[in-house]
Amino acid sequence: MTSRPIRIAPSILSADFSRLGAEVDAIVQGGADYIHVDIMDGHFVPNITFGAQVMASVRKLTTLPFDVHLMIAPADPYIPGFAKAGADIITVHAEAGPHLHRSLQLIKAEGKKAGVAINPATPVSVLEHVIADVDLVLVMSVNPGFGGQSFIPESLNKLRQAHALIGNRPIDLEVDGGITPDNARAVADAGANVFVAGSSVYGGNDPTTYAPRIAAIRAAATSRTA
């Protein structure tokens, strides 16, 4: 079980893009801790979302941290743009380029927190030689590219391995994909403290449901057995 504060990070990938500003405001009012921003390029993953300009347009709506997940390759040319657009955390994929350490240095040079994401088939061992340079480890619990997928059970083992690698370092352990109140407790027990939730928060795009859904994930993640 993690000792770090639990954070809920709704992903705007599942928001209604025709009213994106209102959708961001709704999760802020609903109790979100982070705004998770999924950036997809149609190359590294089989989907396209949006770029830094769209993110910048909603950045002014809240002071909550923008947790930017770059599912793009190469990522390095776009890091300065997302930093300028208001990212607080920038996460790159270990699989997206040959020079992970250089990418982390670039994020740090922009004054941002640096994260590394790993896909379901990527071993935690790829992080061993950069772990001292990261602020966040993101374990993908689905194959990246689309919302609404089911949680891959093996991800719990990977979270345990990542939690062990992190040890006492001040590094957040994030999980992304298929997170619901039904699995949040097991995920927290495996060591995660940042929960990305897309369709489980935004499903149906009814703002009146966002606060109770965020609260349900948080309650499950922080629950204790008797």
Residue type, 15: A
H helices of the chain, where?
20-29, 52-59, 79-84, 100-109, 155-166, 184-189, 199-202, 210-222
In the residue annotation, 189 being an active-site residue is answered as: no
DSSP element (H, E) containing 136: strand 136-140
Other beta carbons within 10 angstroms of residue 141's beta carbon come to 25
Catalytic residue among 38, 41, 76, 172: 38
> Which residue, chain included where needed, has tokens 């790829």?
126
User: Which DSSP string do the residues of 23-85 spell out, in sequence order?
Assistant: HHHHHHHTT-S-EEEEEEBSSSSS-B---HHHHHHHHTT--S-EEEEEE-SS-GGGHHHHHHT
d(CA 194, CA 28): 16
How far apart are alpha carbons 92 and 70 in whole angstroms?
A: 5
Which of these is catalytic: 76, 135, 172, 176? Answer: 176
Active site residue 176: yes
Place of tokens 């772990």: 131
Catalytic positions, written as ranges: 38, 176
